[in-house]
Amino acid sequence: MRWSILQKDKLKHAIAGVALSIVAGLFVYPLIGLATAAVVGALKEIIWDWLLKKGTPELLDFVATVAGGVLGAVILRAAR
């Protein structure tokens, strides 16, 4: 059961990374979208989870967000 919950959490982070990357990348450049996903993912883990103690800060959450950001940047790059 616990593994399933972990997988869903990482999937949510990856989807957020894709969305952030595509939205930001559409307005400027795909790599800016990737950078946006990485920065927002890091800030979420540091501020929301660690400093405000609203969640559990996890490196793999950040990695999943960045992986989604990479996928979003690749999708935008391929579409151009």
Q: Domain coordinates of the chain in residue numbers? A: 8-79
pLDDT in tens, the chain (80 residues): 466 766 899 999 999 999 999 999 998 899 999 999 999 999 999 999 999 999 999 999 999 999 999 999 999 999 98
Question: How many angstroms separate the CA atoms of 36 and 25, rounded?
Answer: 9
Q: How far is Cα 33 from Cα 49, in angstroms, rounded to an integer?
A: 23
Note the pLDDT of residue 5: 66
pTM (predicted TM-score): 0.91
